[in-house]
Amino acid sequence: MASAQCPPVDKRNPARALNRVSKLVTRHFDRKLASVGVNVAYLAVLGPLSVLPSMSQKELAASTGSSQAAMAELLARMVREEFLRRDQDPSDKRQALFSLAPKGSAVMPQIRRVIDAGNSEVFASIGEEGLESLLTLLARIEAGSESW
């Protein structure tokens, strides 16, 4: 549907194609994750906090590559929606530490199932070998970004 409305991919502009596909995939996952009450933006916080007991706003912003202001807004919303807890850092009273609240912990298994099913749907057209190639190429682009 969406691809019929857009011009064919310009091989001289792969960044445009990557951006377009990224937006399509994000929309797909936002629709799927709505059933759990989260969106793709929440995953950048819920994922790390499902592994680590707590992180500061600065650490979360650095791990996602987002600005401190954008992360502050996201964290405030997630605390308000009771996905996260905000506690004072015992070693630095000026800083807050964020951790999963019970609601955040409870949705993690559902999120994992949605992500697994969504990945299967999104990448079915390229097969396992194509997915491996895609991941390899994306890793090379990411590694090369250090020289930009």
**Which residues are within 8 A (CB) of 102 and not within 5 positions of it... i.e. 6 or more apart?**
none
Beta-sheet strands, E only, within 20-106: 55-56, 84-89, 92-100
81-101 pLDDT, tens digit per residue, is: 999 999 999 999 899 999 999
Domains present along the chain, CATH in parentheses: 11-147 (1.10.10.10)
Which pLDDT does position 68 carry in this prediction?
A: 94
Residue ranges in the chain modelled with pLDDT below 70: 1-7, 9
Which pLDDT does position 6 carry in this prediction?
A: 64
